[in-house]
Amino acid sequence: MKINEMTKINIQKKKILIRLDLNVPMQNNKITSYARIQASLPTIKLALKNKSKIMILSHLGRPTENKFQKKYSLFPIFKYLQTKIKNTNIYFAKNLNDKIKINYGEIIIFENVRFNIGEKENDIKLSKKYASLCDIFVMDAFGTSHRMEASTYGVGMFAKISCAGPLLISEIKSLQKSIKKPQRPLITILGGSKISTKFNILKKLAKISDTTIVGGGIANTFLAIKNNIGKSIYEKDFIKLAKKLIKKYNILIPIDSRTLNICNTKKIYSMKNSNLISDNEEIMDIGDKSIIKIIKIIKKARTIIWNGPVGVFESKKFRLGTEKISYAIANNKNAFSLAGGGDTLAVIEMFNIKKKISYISTGGGAFLEFIEGKKLPSLQMLKKKYIQN
């Protein structure tokens, strides 16, 4: 892929506008996961090393356009960055018209781009305004590279020079390593509640994987082909398509499950074979037999692609399946493991296995769309800008 790279162009004493993915989980205006911020720090420090004037853009959540909402403000992230980047002046701008002058070697962080009119619609006027701020635009937000928005696409088309940041380059190379020439066996672990949102990626991964392991609501849809699954989450409209996939590819579904009897006031928890689920039960996690079977497969794997938990991991009673699988992936020293998606990042932090995963993608939707083979708008923009230059 021919695109300009931040590490290969002259950024010395330039005005640099960097689009980062600082869309971190928040609770009561406090950051609950620092993974995406930590992943962005090397890019910021590279620009500082080159004594650039650094301007940072990012979104947070899904606020209403042109309306300030405190819970979506980037101010807590700005305060955190002040503690992580020492001996550097860092400023916060409430909007694009905030006239804060910065010197070379200083940083300004702009408020949530999704407060700006026209951001999500890739408005030309807003895109040009972003571009007018800089000499060089750096796209380093892989997690939003599948969105055609003013701060991810439009600005890059109007900036004098547009390039990819080191995090974006790292993401692309790691994803390509997993799907183009993977070491075998290649296994995929795909969890989540809806097969509809992941059907295309499931089909793509099943095609290239030696084994595809499914969990959560996705697994329930496969189980519903032949079994009663009680009150469990599943998608009836996708049963026929799931049936075709399981006939064609090696897809492993749970052979036993942990369930909750939703009609019992005492909340009775059970573990039983997946073909013995009663009408009043809901599948909440995979069972012990399934865990043992999956761990054996993981131990033999040489490439692992992991997206999503296999049960309701937020509850202590139903996180064992996800926990055991997570540790099995982390402890396989012979495999290249690639993990991505918001819930997957949360799981990795919960079980403190970050250092044992070969590569952790900051992207959710972008991660899935790239593997699926879709063209990501931001990457297409960078290709066009490379040709123009």
Query: Known catalytic residues?
Result: 36, 194, 342, 365
Question: How distant, in Å, are the alpha carbons of 81, 187, 286 from that of 266?
Answer: 47, 39, 21
For 103, counting Cβ atoms within 10 Å of its Cβ (0-12 exposed, 13-18 middle, 19+ buried), the class is exposed
C-alpha span between 205 and 31 (Å, rounded): 33
Q: Which of 224, 244, 247 is nearest to 234 (CA)?
A: 224
| Residue 297, CB-side half-sphere exposure with 13 Å CA sphere | 21
Q: Report the DSSP beta bridge partners of residue 306.
A: 189, 339
C-alpha span between 214 and 187 (Å, rounded): 11
- Sign of the Cα pseudo-torsion (262, 265, 269, 274, in order): negative
Q: What are phi and psi of 2, to 5 degrees?
A: -90, 105
Query: 368 with 201: CB under 8 angstroms?
Result: yes
Q: Which of 189, 266, 276 is nearest to 227 (CA)?
A: 276
Q: What are phi and psi of 35, to 5 degrees?
A: -55, -50
Angle at 217 between CA 283 and CA 268, to 5 degrees: 15
